[in-house]
Amino acid sequence: MGTLLDGIDSPQDLKNLTGDELDRLAQEIRTLLIDYCRRYGGHLGSNLAVVEATIALHRVFDLPHDHLVFDVSHQAYTHKILTGRKQAFTNPERFGGVSGFTSPEESEYDDFVLGHTGTSISLACGLAKTRDLAGGTGNVIAFIGDGALSSGPAFEGLNWAAEQGGNLIIVVNDNEMSIAENHGGLYRSLAALRATGGQSERNPFRDLNLDYRYVEEGNSIGPLVQAFSEIKDIDHPVVVHIHTRKGLGLGQGRSEEPGAGADEPTLPALPAEGQVEANHWQNGIKANSKAANSRKVYGRMAMQALQPRFQNEPGLVVISPATPLSNGIDPEFRSEAGRHYLDVGIAESHAVAFAAGLAKAGGTPVVATSSTFFQRAYDQIEQEMAINGSAITLLNFSTGISGTDATHSGASDIAMMNSIPGLTCLAPGSGDDFLRMLAWATGPARRPVVIRVPGERILASERAAGLPDTLEGRLSMEPGMAPDSNHSGTGTDSQDPWNSYGIVRKGNTVAILGLGDMLPQACRVADSLRERAGINATVMDPHQYSHPDLTTLQALDRNHRLVVTMEDGQLLGGWGQGIAASCESNTIQVLTFGADKEINDRVPLTILNQRYGLNTEVMTDSIISALQGRD
Amino acid sequence: MGTLLDGIDSPQDLKNLTGDELDRLAQEIRTLLIDYCRRYGGHLGSNLAVVEATIALHRVFDLPHDHLVFDVSHQAYTHKILTGRKQAFTNPERFGGVSGFTSPEESEYDDFVLGHTGTSISLACGLAKTRDLAGGTGNVIAFIGDGALSSGPAFEGLNWAAEQGGNLIIVVNDNEMSIAENHGGLYRSLAALRATGGQSERNPFRDLNLDYRYVEEGNSIGPLVQAFSEIKDIDHPVVVHIHTRKGLGLGQGRSEEPGAGADEPTLPALPAEGQVEANHWQNGIKANSKAANSRKVYGRMAMQALQPRFQNEPGLVVISPATPLSNGIDPEFRSEAGRHYLDVGIAESHAVAFAAGLAKAGGTPVVATSSTFFQRAYDQIEQEMAINGSAITLLNFSTGISGTDATHSGASDIAMMNSIPGLTCLAPGSGDDFLRMLAWATGPARRPVVIRVPGERILASERAAGLPDTLEGRLSMEPGMAPDSNHSGTGTDSQDPWNSYGIVRKGNTVAILGLGDMLPQACRVADSLRERAGINATVMDPHQYSHPDLTTLQALDRNHRLVVTMEDGQLLGGWGQGIAASCESNTIQVLTFGADKEINDRVPLTILNQRYGLNTEVMTDSIISALQGRD
Question: Residue B316's domain is classified under what CATH number?
Answer: 3.40.50.970
Q: Determine contact: B311 vs chain A, CB below 8 A.
A: no
Specify if A280 maps to a domain.
no
For residue A589, give the chain B residue with the closest CA: B584
Lowest mean pLDDT among A100-104, B326-330, B535-539: B326-330
A285 pLDDT band, cuts 50/70/90, is confident
Output the pLDDT for position A583.
81
Question: Angle, nearest 10°, between helix axes B152-164 and A348-360?
Answer: 60
Q: Judge: A162–B184 Cβ closer than 8 Å, yes or no.
A: yes
Which residue has better confidence, A511 or A271?
A: A511
Task: Using the 3D structure, point to which of B487, B522, B537 is the last residue of a domain.
Answer: B487
Output the pLDDT for position A182.
58
| Residue span of the structural domain in which A623 resides | 502-630
Q: Judge: B350–A129 Cβ closer than 8 Å, yes or no.
A: no
Same domain, residue pair B438 and B519: no
Same domain, residue pair A409 and A448: yes
Shortest CA gap A253–chain B (Å): 31
The whole model's pTM is what? 0.94
Which of A130, A355, A573 faces B419 most closely, judged by CB atoms?
A573
Same domain, residue pair B194 and B106: yes
Output the pLDDT for position B485.
38
Amino acid at A389: G
pLDDT tens by residue, A349-382: 999 999 999 999 999 999 999 999 999 999 999 9
Specify if B136 maps to a domain.
yes
CA proximity to B571, closest of A475, A419, A56: A419
For residue A190, give the chain B residue with the closest CA: B207
Q: Judge: A363–B129 Cβ closer than 8 Å, yes or no.
A: yes
Model confidence at B279: pLDDT above 90? no
Output the pLDDT for position A563.
95
pLDDT tens by residue, A487-508: 344 444 447 899 999 999 999 9
A176 pLDDT band, cuts 50/70/90, is confident
Question: Rounded to an integer, what distance in angstroms lies between the CA atom of residue B144 and that of residue B126?
Answer: 16
Specify if B101 maps to a domain.
yes
Q: Determine contact: B193 vs chain A, CB below 8 A.
A: no
Q: Which of B69, B131, B133, B582 to mutate to test the interface with A (most CBs of A within 10 A)?
A: B133
Could you tell me where the DSSP H helices lie in A256-387?
Answer: 275-280, 285-288, 294-306, 331-337, 348-360, 371-374, 378-380
B422 pLDDT band, cuts 50/70/90, is very high
Task: Using the 3D structure, point to which of A456, A487, A518 is the last residue of a domain.
Answer: A487
B147 pLDDT band, cuts 50/70/90, is confident
For the segment B59-86, the average pLDDT, to the nearest whole number, is 97
Question: Rounded to an integer, what distance in angstroms lies between the CA atom of residue B492 and that of residue B602?
Answer: 42
A263 pLDDT band, cuts 50/70/90, is very low
* Count of domains for chain B: 3
Do residues B75 and B82 make contact, with C-beta atoms less than 8 angstroms apart? Answer: no
Model confidence at A486: pLDDT above 80? no
Output the pLDDT for position B491.
40
B257 pLDDT band, cuts 50/70/90, is very low
The bridge status of strand A509-514 relative to strand A538-541 is parallel
Which of B111, B134, B163 faces A360 most closely, judged by CB atoms?
B111
- Could you tell me the strand order of the sheet in which B509-514 lies? B502-505, B538-541, B509-514, B560-570, B589-595
pLDDT tens by residue, B553-567: 988 877 899 999 999
- Mean pLDDT of the residues in chain B: 90
Q: Determine contact: B562 vs chain A, CB below 8 A.
A: no
Which of A363, A412, A589 faces B133 most closely, judged by CB atoms?
A363
Question: Angle, nearest 10°, between helix axes B294-306 and B456-464?
Answer: 80
Model confidence at B255: pLDDT above 80? no
Q: Which residues contact A297 (CB under 8 A, 6 or more apart)?
A: A328, A431, A459, A469, A470
Shortest CA gap B179–chain A (Å): 16
Chain A residues touching residue B572 (CB < 8 angstroms): 418-419, 547, 578
Q: CA of A448: how far to CAs of A270, A360, A597, B396, in Å?
A: 40, 12, 27, 27
Which residue has better confidence, B261 or B354?
A: B354
For the segment A463-479, the average pLDDT, to the nearest whole number, is 90
> Which residues 409-448 of B are in CB contact (within 8 Å) with A?
411-412, 415-416, 418-422
Q: Determine contact: A141 vs chain B, CB below 8 A.
A: no
pLDDT tens by residue, B114-145: 999 999 999 999 999 999 999 999 999 999 98
Q: Return the percentage of chain B with pLDDT > 90, whole number.
A: 80
CA proximity to B308, closest of B330, B329, B333: B333
Model confidence at A166: pLDDT above 90? yes
For the segment B235-251, the average pLDDT, to the nearest whole number, is 92
Count other Cβ atoms within 10 Å, centred on residue A84.
16
Q: Judge: B547–A344 Cβ closer than 8 Å, yes or no.
A: no
Specify if A375 maps to a domain.
yes
Question: Rounded to an integer, what distance in angstroms lies between the CA atom of residue B575 and that of residue A442?
Answer: 34
In whole angstroms, what separates CA A416 from the centre of its chain? 16
The CATH number of the domain holding residue A616 is 3.40.50.920
Same domain, residue pair B474 and B520: no
Question: Rounded to an integer, what distance in angstroms lies between the CA atom of residue A393 and that of residue A306?
Answer: 12
> Which residues 70-89 of B are in CB contact (within 8 Å) with A?
none
Q: Determine contact: B101 vs chain A, CB below 8 A.
A: no
A260 pLDDT band, cuts 50/70/90, is very low
Model confidence at A267: pLDDT above 70? no
Specify if A98 maps to a domain.
yes
Q: Determine contact: A116 vs chain B, CB below 8 A.
A: yes
Q: Determine contact: B610 vs chain A, CB below 8 A.
A: no
Lowest mean pLDDT among A63-72, A487-496, A498-507, B256-265: B256-265
> Which residues 485-514 of B are in CB contact (within 8 Å) with A?
none
Q: Which residues contact A578 (CB under 8 A, 6 or more apart)?
A: A418, A547, A548, B571, B572, B573, B577
Same domain, residue pair A479 and A525: no
- Mean pLDDT of the residues in chain A: 90
Question: Rounded to an integer, what distance in angstroms lies between the CA atom of residue B46 and that of residue B43?
Answer: 6
Specify if B396 maps to a domain.
yes
Which of B134, B150, B340 faces A156 most closely, judged by CB atoms?
B150
Q: Return the percentage of chain A with pLDDT > 90, whole number.
A: 80
Q: Determine contact: A64 vs chain B, CB below 8 A.
A: no
Question: Rounded to an integer, what distance in angstroms lies between the CA atom of residue B325 and that of residue B347?
Answer: 17
Which residue has better confidence, A398 or B146?
A: A398
B284 pLDDT band, cuts 50/70/90, is confident
Q: Determine contact: B209 vs chain A, CB below 8 A.
A: yes
B154 pLDDT band, cuts 50/70/90, is very high
Q: Which residues contact A202 (CB under 8 A, 6 or more apart)?
A: A189, A192, A193, B203, B206, B207
Same domain, residue pair A178 and A149: yes
Same domain, residue pair B520 and B607: yes
Model confidence at B275: pLDDT above 60? no
Task: Using the 3D structure, point to which of A418, A452, A487 is the last residue of a domain.
Answer: A487
Do residues A69 and A62 make contact, with C-beta atoms less than 8 angstroms apart? Answer: no
Q: Return the percentage of chain A with pLDDT > 70, whole number.
A: 90
Q: What is the DSSP letter of A287?
A: H
The bridge status of strand A364-370 relative to strand A316-320 is parallel
Q: Judge: A160–B344 Cβ closer than 8 Å, yes or no.
A: yes
Same domain, residue pair A92 and A237: yes
Q: Judge: A572–B547 Cβ closer than 8 Å, yes or no.
A: yes
Question: Rounded to an integer, what distance in angstroms lies between the CA atom of residue B117 and that of residue B617?
Answer: 41
Same domain, residue pair B522 and B552: yes
Same domain, residue pair B239 and B351: no
Same domain, residue pair A323 and A219: no
Output the pLDDT for position B254.
35
Q: Determine contact: B115 vs chain A, CB below 8 A.
A: yes
Shortest CA gap B204–chain A (Å): 6
In whole angstroms, what separates CA A168 from the centre of its chain? 29
Output the pLDDT for position B586.
65
Q: Determine contact: A375 vs chain B, CB below 8 A.
A: yes
Specify if B309 maps to a domain.
yes
Q: Determine contact: A337 vs chain B, CB below 8 A.
A: no
Specify if A528 maps to a domain.
yes
Q: Determine contact: A35 vs chain B, CB below 8 A.
A: no
Count other Cβ atoms within 10 Å, centred on residue B606.
11
Q: Determine contact: A589 vs chain B, CB below 8 A.
A: yes
Between A and B, how many CB-CB pairs are < 8 A? Answer: 430
For the segment A211-234, the average pLDDT, to the nearest whole number, is 98
Q: Judge: A383–B115 Cβ closer than 8 Å, yes or no.
A: yes
Output the pLDDT for position B281.
72
Q: Determine contact: A180 vs chain B, CB below 8 A.
A: no
Q: What ipTM was predicted for this assembly?
A: 0.94
Same domain, residue pair A538 and A452: no
Question: Rounded to an integer, what distance in angstroms lies between the CA atom of residue B84 and that of residue B286?
Answer: 27
Could you tell me where the DSSP H helices lie in B94-177?
Answer: 120-133, 152-164
Q: What is the DSSP letter of B176?
A: S
